[in-house]
Structures are given as structure tokens and as C-alpha cells.
């Protein structure tokens, strides 16, 4: 039985005001450019310097890596809706991939619109929200000056794109590999923005390493990522499959029935997982080359010292943990805890950046962070499509964690809610993850002593106090809106 240190790290404290570096407020320095690079279904086990040398050399080692970054929730479309709005699903309306964008409340009131109103040139390259084309067809989404978006289903080869509202078809020649195409379009956007001498916001959303069914060898088995060629796969063809203690978990009697019903992985299944893992690594390697080329373009245009770069995956992925041979969405760390790093130039901070930050952060923090850095003294960028038409952001600016002034709430808990109707609601703090499923089942894991989530302690007497306190916080979060100190009080509790 695991031992509890009940109650530690559960009580939030009020945050202090946040400021950024003096240069960001100076009219001569101007507002920073902001580049958000997003991978798709990338688990933390591939977010390592040996697999992504360019990304680590240019972003992670020059900035901050968040070790407790949470995809809230760990599913493509609702996670991206959180990036777009700074809100949890119960406030922006998007709980799942279907219908996805069609459920988004106030689609004309998003981070791109806010930045446009502040004078930014904005661009989206790659994957947007699921179901967008069902609602809007080929036309660009509100808030984006430059629009280069996968139509319906993203692909590595043989895919369609809306290029400024015009249909473009890409085939199966090497030059059509989507990771490279998106990188080229991103570099063109940077070049054009530099010539216009306007600050810009670029959301570069790669397909990689999301799986798909394809006819391209050697990753023909479905579903798996598709590398650009055989050489990319050969480079990782002997990399062993990670086998954490949760891999092919032996005893799942403590887990919800859906996990208990899973059979243990046999040798053939494990071999398929190994192959999928290597195909994903090969695709990640090409993505990493793209990151290197984007950073090189910023450097060549003398923009790197005026550009904030964020790197984030939309969710993690299972490679055999807890008997899950594939997929995401479950409230376990392989899906929930994602790659996230930020590089902030010295001009936009007050001190050195920590190489690692263990504070719990989430995708809802991207929008308030972008707005904070885009703001100048006396000229704050607000989350408003028009005066009085504003969103109440549930996330927080990450500036205090990135060399800026201000505080961060101790014991912060991030809400994770998924499904329509909701399949579960959960709270993830630095130490605990507690979830309540619609089936009535509950899970509680003490990550300090059980990082692989092998023992569900939700029904253990020694954890009763922790469970009850987390349950109370979770109930408040499911109806929360905004952050204390940012907006006038309302009836709903704050998202603390």
C-alpha cells in the first residue's frame, strides 16, 4: 500500500501581478513576434535531445522546459480550442473532436482576432480544429491574415489544403511531404512579415507524428506516422521501444472496468507498437529539421531576438502503457503530460529563464501568455473582439515562470474534462491526479510515490482526506470562469 502525505500542495494562493521586461514596453523595441509550433500526438518519450537536436539546441536549451504541462483535455480538437480561446471546454463549448469546431462558442472572438486588433499579422499553417471545414468550407477562420490549412483530414502525402481560401492538392512526390511544405510556408510567412515591418503571430501546426493509414513503406501498417522516406526510418530502425513500469501493466484490478477489460499485450501486438514507435520517431526527426529551419529563418532575418517561440504537443500518446496499445484521451500521464517549452528573448523578461519549471501549466495558458507579451505599457491587448465583447480567460500568463516578475499560485490544479456527454472530469495538481468518471468510478494517483500510476488509491482510507479535498476543488473547477484579479467578480468560482 502507498503511504500518503495528505493535503500537501493542495491549497492555492492568490497570484501577484505580472509584468514583463522593460524592453517589451518600449516603443522602440516594439511588440515581440510570437511563433507557436505545435506537434500532433507527440508523447514525452520522443521529446528528447537525441531525437530532436535542433529543437533542444534552439528552444529548450535557450529557454524553459515545462515538466508538468497538461493537455486539458488530451484530445486534438478540445486542446486546440483551449489554445485558441484560453478557456476550458465548459466555457468554449468544445469537449470532443466531433463535431469539434461546430461547438465552438463565439468563433469570431479568439486569440487571432485579438492580435489582429492589436496590429499583428497573423498566420495559421497546418492543422486547425476538427470539423472546421464542415462549418466554414475553404474560407480562412476569423483572425488569420495568412491561411494554409489542412482540409478535413491532415496527411503526410496525398492531402488537400485551403490556401487563402483556394483549394490546393498535394500528391505523393517527396517535395509534397507535409512537414516540409508547412515549414516552407512558415518561412515564407516570416519573410513577408519581416518585409512589412509588423509584429506577427504564427501558429505552425504540424501533422507529425499523428498516425494514419497509408500505402507508404516502411510505415504501411495502420495507424502510424509516415516518415518522408526510407532513410529517415532506417536512422531509427533499431531504437528500442520504451518500457516504463506501466508498460503492459500486469495487475489492473484497481483500474476502471474499461481498463480491466483490456487483455495483456501479446508479442505480435508489442511488435506492432515497436514499429509504430519507430515510424513516429522518424516523423519527429523531420519535424525537428523543420523547427531548425524556422529558427534559422528568424535568425537570418534578424528577428530571433524579437521573437518568442513556444513548442507544444496537443496531447500525448500510448505505446503500451496500462495495456493501451495506442490512442490518447485517458486520464493517465502518457496522454496527459505533454512536451512544452518556451524561448523568450532577454528584451521581454526581467531575469534569467529557468531551464526547467515544475509548475503545473496547460494549453489554456497559451492565449493569456501571448496577450501578455503582446501588450505594451498602457496599451494592453485584451481578449475582446470588440469593446465589451470579451472572453474571460481561464488560463494564466506564463510570464512569471519565464523570467518575468510576478507570482504563480501554489498547488495549482488544472481541470481536465472530456466527452459529449462528458466521459470524465479530473483535476491534475503537481502531486495528484484525481478523476471522476460518468460510470461512477474514481481514480486517484499520488505521482510523488507512484509516477507510473500503478495503484489507484481513491478508495484507500489513508487517502480519504486528499480525495475529498480534490473532489471539492474539482466540483468548483467544472463551473469555474476566469482568474481572480483579472475580471470583475461573477457568480461562478474562479479557475484556481
pLDDT of residue 21: 42
Q: Which three cell numbers stand for residue 156?
A: 503526410
How does DSSP classify residue 247? B
pLDDT in tens, 403-417: 988 889 989 999 999
Q: Which three cell numbers stand for residue 369?
A: 501568455
Q: Which three cell numbers stand for residue 335?
A: 496522454
Rounded Cα distance between 442 and 439, Å, is 9
Q: Which residues pair with 324 in a beta bridge?
A: none
Rounded Cα distance between 35 and 205, Å, is 10
pLDDT of residue 484: 82
pLDDT of residue 14: 29
pLDDT in tens, 235-247: 999 999 999 999 9
Q: Looking only at Cα atoms, what is the longest distance across the chain?
A: 64
Q: What is the pTM of this model?
A: 0.93
Under DSSP, is residue 113 helix (H, G, I), strand (E, B) or coil? helix
pLDDT of residue 377: 64
What is the domain class of 22-408 according to CATH?
Answer: alpha beta
Domain boundaries, the chain: 22-408
Rounded Cα distance between 92 and 81, Å, is 7
> Residue 25: is it exposed, middle or buried by C-beta count within 10 angstroms (0-12/13-18/19+)?
middle
Neighbours of 448 (CB within 10 A): 14
pLDDT of residue 226: 95
Residue carrying C-alpha cell 532506417: 234
pLDDT of residue 490: 77
Neighbours of 270 (CB within 10 A): 18
Tens place of pLDDT for every residue, the chain, 496 residues? Answer: 333 333 333 333 323 333 444 333 323 358 999 999 999 999 999 999 999 999 999 999 999 999 999 999 999 999 999 999 999 999 999 999 999 999 999 999 999 999 999 999 999 999 999 999 999 999 999 999 999 999 989 999 999 999 999 999 999 999 999 999 999 999 999 999 988 889 999 999 999 999 998 877 789 877 899 999 999 999 999 999 999 999 999 999 999 999 999 999 999 999 999 999 999 999 999 999 999 999 999 999 999 999 999 999 999 999 999 999 999 999 999 999 999 999 999 999 999 999 999 999 999 999 999 999 999 766 889 999 999 999 999 999 999 999 988 889 989 999 999 986 679 999 999 999 999 999 999 999 999 999 999 999 999 999 999 999 999 999 999 999 999 877 766 778 899 8
**Helix locations, 356-463, DSSP H:** 366-374
Please state the φ and ψ torsions of residue 119, each to the nearest 5 degrees.
100, 5
Chain centroid to CA 225:
19
User: Which stretches of 81-130 are assigned E, i.e. beta strand?
Assistant: 121-126
Rounded Cα distance between 152 and 158, Å, is 13
Q: Which helix (H) or strand (E) holds 133?
A: helix 132-136
Rounded Cα distance between 396 and 377, Å, is 19
**Helix locations, 346-463, DSSP H:** 366-374
- Produce one character per residue of 151-184: b if its CB has 16 or more CB atoms within 10 Å, e if not: beebbbbebbbbeeeeeeebeeeeebbbbbbbbe
Residue carrying C-alpha cell 508523447: 43
Amino acid at each position: 500500500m502507498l503511504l500518503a502525505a495528505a493535503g500537501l500542495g493542495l491549497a492555492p494562493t492568490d497570484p501577484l501581478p505580472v509584468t514583463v521586461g522593460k524592453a517589451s514596453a518600449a516603443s522602440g523595441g516594439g511588440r515581440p513576434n510570437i511563433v507557436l509550433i505545435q506537434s500532433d500526438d507527440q508523447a514525452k518519450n520522443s521529446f528528447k535531445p537525441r531525437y530532436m537536436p535542433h529543437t533542444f539546441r534552439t528552444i529548450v536549451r535557450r529557454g524553459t522546459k515545462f515538466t508538468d504541462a497538461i493537455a486539458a483535455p488530451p484530445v486534438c480538437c478540445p486542446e486546440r480550442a483551449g489554445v485558441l480561446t484560453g478557456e476550458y471546454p465548459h466555457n468554449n463549448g468544445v469537449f470532443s473532436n466531433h463535431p469539434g469546431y461546430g461547438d465552438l462558442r463565439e468563433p469570431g472572438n479568439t486569440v487571432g482576432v485579438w492580435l489582429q486588433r492589436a496590429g499583428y499579422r497573423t498566420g495559421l499553417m497546418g492543422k486547425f480544429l476538427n470539423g472546421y471545414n464542415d462549418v466554414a468550407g475553404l474560407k480562412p477562420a476569423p483572425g488569420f491574415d495568412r491561411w494554409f490549412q489542412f482540409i478535413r483530414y491532415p496527411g503526410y502525402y496525398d492531402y488537400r489544403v485551403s490556401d487563402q481560401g483556394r483549394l490546393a492538392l498535394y500528391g505523393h512526390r517527396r517535395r509534397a511531404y507535409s512537414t516540409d511544405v508547412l515549414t516552407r510556408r512558415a518561412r515564407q510567412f516570416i519573410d513577408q512579415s519581416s518585409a512589412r515591418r509588423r509584429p506577427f503571430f504564427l501558429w505552425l501546426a504540424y501533422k507529425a507524428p499523428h498516425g494514419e493509414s497509408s500505402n507508404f513503406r516502411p510505415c504501411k501498417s495502420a495507424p502510424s506516422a509516415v516518415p518522408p522516406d526510407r532513410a529517415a526510418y532506417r536512422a531509427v530502425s533499431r531504437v528500442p521501444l520504451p518500457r516504463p513500469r506501466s508498460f503492459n501493466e500486469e495487475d489492473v484490478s484497481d483500474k476502471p472496468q474499461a481498463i480491466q477489460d483490456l487483455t495483456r499485450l501479446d508479442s505480435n501486438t508489442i511488435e506492432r507498437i515497436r514499429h509504430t514507435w519507430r515510424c513516429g520517431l522518424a516523423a519527429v526527426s523531420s519535424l525537428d529539421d523543420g523547427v531548425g529551419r524556422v529558427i534559422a529563418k528568424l535568425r537570418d532575418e534578424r528577428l530571433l531576438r524579437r521573437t518568442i517561440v513556444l513548442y507544444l504537443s496537443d496531447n500525448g500518446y500510448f505505446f503500451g502503457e496500462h495495456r493501451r496499445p495506442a490512442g490518447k484521451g485517458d486520464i493517465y500521464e502518457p496522454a496527459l503530460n505533454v512536451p512544452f517549452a518556451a524561448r523568450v528573448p532577454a528584451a521581454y523578461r526581467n531575469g534569467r529563464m529557468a531551464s526547467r519549471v515544475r509548475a503545473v501549466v496547460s494549453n489554456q495558458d497559451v492565449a493569456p501568455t501571448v496577450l501578455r507579451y503582446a501588450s505594451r505599457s498602457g496599451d494592453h491587448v485584451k481578449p475582446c473582439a470588440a469593446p465589451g465583447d470579451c472572453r474571460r480567460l481561464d488560463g494564466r500568463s506564463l510570464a512569471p515562470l519565464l523570467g518575468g516578475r510576478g507570482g504563480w499560485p501554489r498547488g495549482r490544479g488544472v481541470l481536465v474534462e472530456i466527452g459529449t456527454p462528458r466521459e470524465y472530469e479530473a483535476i491534475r495538481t503537481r502531486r495528484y491526479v484525481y478523476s471522476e468518471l460518468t460510470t461512477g468510478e474514481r481514480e486517484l494517483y499520488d505521482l510523488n510515490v507512484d509516477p507510473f500510476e500503478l495503484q489507484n488509491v481513491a478508495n484507500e482510507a489513508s487517502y480519504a482526506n486528499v480525495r475529498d479535498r480534490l473532489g471539492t476543488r474539482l466540483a468548483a473547477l467544472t463551473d469555474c470562469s476566469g482568474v481572480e484579479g483579472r475580471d470583475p467578480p461573477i457568480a461562478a468560482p474562479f479557475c484556481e
